[in-house]
Amino acid sequence: MPDLSNEKSHADGKILQHTAGGVGVITFNNPDKRNAMSLEMWEGFGEALTDLRDDDAVRVVILRGAGGKAFVSGADISQFEKTRHNAAASEEYGKRSAAQRALLADYPKPTIACIEGFCLGGGMQVAMLADIRLAAHGSQFGIPAAKLGIAYGYDGLKHLVSLVGPSWARLLMYTGMRIDATEALRIGLVERVFPVDQLWGETMGIAQTISENAPLAIKAAKLTIAQVLKDESGRDMDAIKAVGTACMDSADFREGRQAFMEKRKPKFQGR
């Protein structure tokens, strides 16, 4: 488990952040409610994302849930009677977490969701906004919106369809069913599945590999893949060209070439 010597907390301790080398970690820490997301937790999550975004030492960010039972089990439904009881209230509720969702959707650094246990509803939304999803055997995934009478929203469904395709999106949404990690892997909802006792080590290993690679090259890949997913009319080809030029003119590209010729590990600076 992570070293917590430099931990910082938000939302009364329900969102934790720490760094280990070039890796930032954000932990959803509400295990009594299986890490259900309250509005306060969304706001704290945004603060943690912003801190790690602005920390130049951090090259990649892992999202994880505390307690071993859940990543995020959904929204905190106990808040709904006050905050989401009809269309107007629900729109206001959505607006209050929209900024944090947008922050994660457009995050400049690679993000990894490390999923152990339940990943449901709003938890699926968080996981699908991350770049990569790694899960433990025994994890469960689902979106129970139809069981609650909730419309899940365009952004969440756009990500779901882009990962699993329209037919699986329909099956999951119409039934509200839960699927296990093996099925999630098969349909493309997660990228890798590991035994539960290996999940954290494997996740950190992948994160450290990413953190040691050239940040500008990763930024170029992240930006270009995001543009590929847009309709042709909405693509910013100039941004793709600019990030490509920045890579090819970078000190890191020179370092990469020299390290290869000298048969040593490169040391990238991100410039």
Per-residue pLDDT reduced to its tens digit, 48-76: 999 999 999 999 999 999 999 999 999 87
Classified as helix, coil or strand, 28 is strand
CA-CA distances (angstroms) from residue 110 to 44, 52, 54, 198, 243?
20, 11, 14, 21, 16
Local confidence band at 85 (pLDDT 50, 70, 90 cut-offs): confident
Report d(CA 207, CA 24) in Å as an integer: 9
Q: pTM here?
A: 0.93
Residue ranges with strand state E in 92-226: 111-115, 118-120, 132-136, 140-142, 178-180, 192-194
Q: Look at residue 152 in the predicted model and tell me its pLDDT.
A: 86
Per-residue pLDDT reduced to its tens digit, 243-267: 999 999 999 999 999 999 999 999 9
Which two structure tokens, joined as six digits, stand for 175? Answer: 């039934």
Residue ranges with strand state E in 66-198: 70-72, 111-115, 118-120, 132-136, 140-142, 178-180, 192-194
